[in-house]
A and B are shown apart, each in its own frame.
Chain A
Amino acid sequence: NAGVTQTPKFRVLKTGQSMTLLCAQDMNHEYMYWYRQDPGMGLRLIHYSVGEGTTAKGEVPDGYNVSRLKKQNFLLGLESAAPSQTSVYFCASSYLSGGGYTFGSGTRLTVV
Chain B
Amino acid sequence: GESVGLHLPTLSVQEGDNSIINCAYSNSASDYFIWYKQESGKGPQFIIDIRSNMDKRQGQRVTVLLNKTVKHLSLQIAATQPGDSAVYFCAEKGDDKIIFGKGTRLHILP
Per the CB 8 Å criterion, the residue count for chain B at the interface is 23
- Residues of chain A with a CB closer than 8 A to B32's CB: 98-99
Q: Interface residues of B: mostly helix, strand, loop or mixed?
A: strand
Whether A56 sits at the interface, judged by CB under 8 Å, is yes
Give bound CA distance, A78 to B70, whole Å. Answer: 41
Known interface pairs A40-B102, A42-B100. Does A90 touch B93 (Cβ–Cβ under 8 Å)? no
The 0/1 profile, CB within 8 Å of A marked 1, for residues 21-50 of chain B is 000000000001010100001111110010
Interface residue from B89, B99, B103 paired with A45 (Cβ < 8 Å): B99
- Residues of chain B with a CB closer than 8 A to A44's CB: 100
Interface residue from A33, A35, A42 paired with B102 (Cβ < 8 Å): A42
- Residues of chain A with a CB closer than 8 A to B36's CB: 101
Cβ A103 vs Cβ B44 within 8 A:
yes
Give bound CA distance, A62 to B95, whole Å. Answer: 21
A–B complex contacts, Cβ < 8 Å, 23 sampled: A4-B43, A40-B9, A42-B100, A42-B101, A42-B102, A43-B89, A43-B100, A45-B97, A45-B99, A58-B97, A90-B43, A90-B44, A97-B96, A98-B93, A98-B97, A99-B32, A101-B36, A101-B46, A103-B43, A104-B43, A105-B43, A106-B41, A106-B43
Q: List residues of B whose CB falls within 8 A of some A CB.
A: 9, 32, 34, 36, 41-46, 49, 89, 93-103
New A-B contacts (12) at CB < 8 Å, excluding given A43-B44, A98-B94 = A31-B96, A35-B100, A40-B9, A42-B100, A44-B100, A92-B43, A97-B93, A97-B96, A98-B98, A100-B49, A101-B44, A103-B44
